[in-house]
A = this chain, B = another copy of it.
């Protein structure tokens, strides 16, 4: 019995397996077999759905980007107070599903890939700019434009920096302290105390 509608299930499983495999072996040693095995299918099937390794990798990156975007948008939509909008962005970046070691590894791998791969670079820049623009927008409601721009860049850098540093820490990532660090820097710079 040919199962119907397997495609989206397989695609998700393969992308999720890709993230895990990147964490476990790194981009350089990643093989289609690895990924397929983790997804519980044959390597042939991965090709069937994604055409080639490159495509699977890019699809994974797009998923990562989209997930983060959604995470932030959802939180933004639920925030009415200006200050909360800044918080929403910060917290979105450190949300549980984004801050899993596997996901962190995958992001790092893509930052790495972006150094020489055009499409990866392009995709990553979309995220970078959106984060920046989201932050500046939110900050502009609290402070003047110039400060918002400067602080936007600082905040974005701080988010990435905390992220990358925590990736080296042993044990599970500590979401709360990561958020606290960024928030206190941002609101401290605005002369506000963190609620």
A residues sitting closer than 8 Å to B (CB atoms) are 23-28, 30, 101, 104-105, 108-109, 111-117, 121, 124-125, 128, 150, 153-154, 156-165, 167-168, 181, 184-185, 188-189
User: Assuming the A-B contacts A27-B112, A108-B112, A116-B105, are A153 and B181 also in contact, with contact meaning beta carbons closer than 8 angstroms in the complex?
Assistant: yes
A113 proximity list for chain B (CB < 8 A): 26, 28
Known: A24-B116, A27-B28. 16 other contacts (CB 8 A): A23-B115, A23-B116, A25-B116, A26-B27, A108-B108, A109-B115, A111-B112, A128-B168, A153-B165, A157-B165, A157-B181, A159-B161, A160-B160, A161-B161, A185-B189, A189-B189
A189 proximity list for chain B (CB < 8 A): 185, 188-189
Q: Complex Cα distance A53/B168, Å? A: 23
A159 proximity list for chain B (CB < 8 A): 161
Output the nearest chain B residue to A104 by Cβ-Cβ distance: B115
Output the nearest chain B residue to A124 by Cβ-Cβ distance: B168
User: Assuming the A-B contacts A156-B161, A164-B161, A168-B121, are A112 and B115 also in contact, with contact meaning beta carbons closer than 8 angstroms in the complex?
Assistant: no
A162 and B167 contacting across the interface, CB-CB below 8 Å = no
Output the nearest chain B residue to A21 by Cβ-Cβ distance: B116
User: Assuming the A-B contacts A26-B116, A108-B115, A185-B185, are A165 and B160 also in contact, with contact meaning beta carbons closer than 8 angstroms in the complex?
Assistant: yes
A161 → B minimal CB distance (Å): 3
A158 proximity list for chain B (CB < 8 A): 154, 157-158, 161
A164 and B111 contacting across the interface, CB-CB below 8 Å = yes
Q: Complex Cα distance A159/B161, Å? A: 7
